[in-house]
Structure 1
Amino acid sequence: MEILMTVSKFASICTMGANASALEKEIGPEQFPVNEHYFGLVNFGNTCYCNSVLQALYFCRPFREKVLAYKSQPRKKESLLTCLADLFHSIATQKKKVGVIPPKKFITRLRKENELFDNYMQQDAHEFLNYLLNTIADILQEERKQEKQNGRLPNGNIDNENNNSTPDPTWVHEIFQGTLTNETRCLTCETISSKDEDFLDLSVDVEQNTSITHCLRGFSNTETLCSEYKYYCEECRSKQEAHKRMKVKKLPMILALHLKRFKYMDQLHRYTKLSYRVVFPLELRLFNTSGDATNPDRMYDLVAVVVHCGRK
């Protein structure tokens, strides 16, 4: 599985920690940005899926800053977020520029909270990323709920509003969440129905000798619904042929892309990994395909790429 993370107006490269002094000398101290650290994470038995994602997230500066700010708040009961904050703080406060850190506390907490990761088997990096971001959002929303129930907001103000059924968005949503519009146009009456849905990452199909830009173009391709897949049109009150497409309505601050490298092969009766070459540009322009004038084109800079080398 691969995950591409990009963020507007910021780019950084994640390197693995090795021999700190030798690596720093070879690269040259002038190559290191001020106050930046490059640390590898110790593997505790096939935990590379976790380590690689944590390193990628560390170099997403808006995310890192929010996690470190959480660390500075009054101590809360231990959770996956407090363990992540401790790990990020440990990296950020190191005296050396490069090195290795064991994320033992985080891995222990992860295995305790989710039995899927409570083993020494290889796991899916994309599944871990989704679990981590959603868990952090849940923790923040629960803390917000508790603060509201106590009648006091984080800024010290008294909350006199009624509790809403919809949870408030968190800084996880502010950083990673975008919005898609699923449009279906009936070819008989031309009526367009649309439905919005939020996303924290986009999963895109891959082909041989392709690029991220090409994959994203394919993501928004129009699909014709016909034969047994006809669309039930509420206006026509019958099944009709239709055009369907997915468009990005709102772009996120940080875009996480998941390349769908596993495809079900009918002749093999199983999923096969697609080891296709995919070109990653250092800069990626996402065009606003929704027609929303408030959502201009956005240039993203490459922050990190997570790539698994192997058959599984």
Structure 2
Amino acid sequence: MGTNASQLEKEFGTSFPPNERYFGLVNFGNTCYCNSVLQALFFCVPFRNNVLRCSSATSKKKENLLTCLVDLFSSIASQKRRVGVYTPKKFVSRLKRENELFDNMQQQDAHEFLNYLLNTVADLVTVETKTSGAESKASDASVKTWVHEIFEGVLTNETRCLTCETVRSKDEEFLDLSVDIQQHSSITCCLKCFSGTETLCSQYKYFCDTCCSKQEATKR
């Protein structure tokens, strides 16, 4: 790996981004679902920076998934070499102890792991915020962490009755969207399809509270 790393650095030459570290993660038997998400999050700069800011705050904390993530990101970011390989053994071990779904040698769903990780980090940050007294009067549901600031969006579901034109809408907060990916298309195209208008008719008619009956409607 040392020879390959040196060759990679030579190929990058002067175009190598300053202060960046490109490290592969060792696979512990079908843990590529975990490694791929961790590497994607490491290169999500706002997320990485916030995790690294937790370094001093978590140094004396009881070990949890966030402290292990801090250790992992800090270890990679502080490497003298710009490319190489790192072993995320501590993080993977903690993950398996905290969630039995991942405590096996089987391949898991990367999306499911991403959701679990983001929600767990957000919960741990929320607890830390409340412990510090910064949000002592707020409820858990009202606390917004830096995880939410980076990833959270609002999805509006809108239904329009085609008889009376009454529109009903509902807002839902989300950290991720499940978008159908079409072959030979772009993410922009997929998002347009995701937010497209669907007609509710026949046995799928919409019950309109204004008309007090089932009516044809559009949904988007």
Q: What range is the shorter-chain TM-score in?
A: over 0.9
Percentage of pairs with the same residue: 68
SS in 2 for 1:53: helix
The offset of 1:17, in angstroms, is 9.4
Could you tell me whether the CA contact under 8 Å between 2:2 and 2:84 is conserved in 1? yes
Counterpart of 1:228? 203
Verify the 8 A CA contact 1:41 1:103 in the aligned structure 2.
Answer: yes
In the alignment, is residue 40 of structure 1 matched against residue 2 of structure 2?
A: no
Q: 1:17 to 1:129 in 2, by over 3 A?
A: farther
1:40 match: secondary structure: strand
2:113 counterpart residue number: 128
Counterpart contact for 2:126–2:140, Cα < 8 Å: no
Of the three residues 55, 60, 65, the one matched with 1:71 is 55
1:54 Cα offset (Å):
0.5
Give the TM-score normalised by the residue count of structure 2.
Answer: 0.94
Residue 85 of structure 1 aligns with an amino acid whose one-letter code is V
Is the strand fraction higher in 1 or 2?
1
When the two chains are superposed, the root-mean-square deviation of aligned CA atoms in Å is 1.8
Q: How many angstroms apart in 2 are the aligned matches of 1:193 and 1:18?
A: 62
Matched, 1:182 2:157: yes
In structure 2, the CA distance between the partners of 1:176 and 1:18, relative to structure 1 (3 Å rule), is farther
In structure 1, the partner of 2:217 is 242
- CA pair 165-20 structure 1, distance change in 2 beyond 3 A: closer
Question: How many residue pairs are counted as aligned between the two chains?
Answer: 219
Q: Distance in 2 between matches of 1:102 and 1:229?
A: 52
Q: Structure 1 length normalisation: TM-score?
A: 0.67
- Greater percentage in helix: 2
SS at match of 2:38: helix
SS at match of 2:97: helix
Deviations 1:16-39 (A, max 9, x none): 9982212212322x1211111100
2:75 maps to 1:90: yes
Gaps of 5+ in 2: none
* Residue 244 to residue 169, structure 1, CA distance change in 2 (3 Å): same
- Once the two structures are overlaid, the 10-residue window that deviates more, 74-83 or 89-98, is 74-83
Post-superposition CA distance 1:225-258 (Å, at most 9, x none): 111111111111111111000xxxxxxxxxxxxx
**Deviation sequence 1:31-84 (CA, Å, 0-9, x none):** 211111100000000101100110010001000000000112252111101000
Note the 1:183-262 alignment, pairs <5 A.
183-245=158-220
Moved over 6 A (4+): none
Residue pair 1:24, 1:98 contacting (<8 A) in 2 also: yes
Choose which of 87, 95, 104 in structure 2 pairs with 1:119.
104
Does the alignment pair 1:57 with 2:41?
yes
Identify which of structures 1 and 2 has the higher relative contact order when contacts are C-alpha pairs closer than 8 Å and 6+ apart.
Answer: 1
Distance 2:168 2:23 in 1: 49
**Deviation string, structure 1 residues 277-297 (Cα, Å, up to 9, x no partner):** xxxxxxxxxxxxxxxxxxxxx
The 1:18/1:203 distance shift into structure 2, 3 A limit, reads farther
- 1:146 is matched with 131
Task: Report SS of the residue matched to 1:210.
Answer: coil
